[in-house]
């Protein structure tokens, strides 16, 4: 079962420095504090991955957005997140003009080499007490 998704929930690779930086950018620019977060390594993240595996036959490994009953993965997750942030980030949605196969191919290359290029943590990020309420688990 998926968690309630009236608010956008961003699932990310908690060990990936690039993914953690992306979450920090979202937190900083989400002025209304609508986004909720969970690492893919958490119990909720694991349940979402199992659901996606059953529905789509493949596992996402770096970024998933759950919003209003829809699951966005790969480039669609990044672009939808940008559109929900609004402001200057909404300009990134111009990426929708590229065919999904091309967008996802680029995304896959970055995802494949993200640890090599940006590094990897030994453990998932621990949110500050002020941010703790925005993290599912």
C-beta of residue 98 within 8 angstroms of C-beta of residue 74: no
- Asked, for residue 102, whether it belongs to a domain, the answer is yes
Task: Show the DSSP H helices in 1-137 as ranges.
Answer: 17-29, 43-56, 74-85, 100-118
Tally the domains of the chain.
Answer: 1
- Asked, for residue 80, whether it belongs to a domain, the answer is yes
pLDDT (tens digit per residue) in 62-114: 789 999 988 999 999 999 999 999 888 888 888 888 999 999 999 999 988 99
- Asked, for residue 137, whether it belongs to a domain, the answer is no
- Asked, for residue 4, whether it belongs to a domain, the answer is no
pLDDT (tens digit per residue) in 29-64: 998 899 999 988 888 888 888 888 888 777 777 789
Domain extent, residue 116, equals 9-122
Prediction pTM value: 0.86
Q: Which pLDDT does position 84 carry in this prediction?
A: 93
- Asked, for residue 127, whether it belongs to a domain, the answer is no
């Amino acid at each position: 079962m998926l968690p309630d998704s009236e608010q956008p929930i961003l699932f990310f690779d908690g060990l990936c420095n690039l993914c953690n930086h992306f979450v920090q950018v979202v937190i900083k620019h989400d002025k209304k504090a609508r986004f909720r977060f969970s690492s893919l390594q958490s119990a909720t993240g694991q349940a979402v991955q199992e659901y996606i595996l059953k529905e789509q036959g493949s596992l996402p490994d770096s970024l998933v957005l759950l919003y209003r009953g829809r699951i966005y993965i790969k480039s669609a997750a990044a672009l939808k997140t940008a559109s929900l942030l609004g402001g200057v980030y909404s300009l990134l949605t111009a990426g929708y003009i590229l065919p999904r196969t091309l967008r996802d191919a680029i995304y896959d290359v970055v995802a494949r080499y993200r640890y090599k290029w940006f590094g990897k943590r030994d453990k998932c990020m621990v949110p500050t007490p002020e941010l703790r309420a925005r993290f599912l688990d």
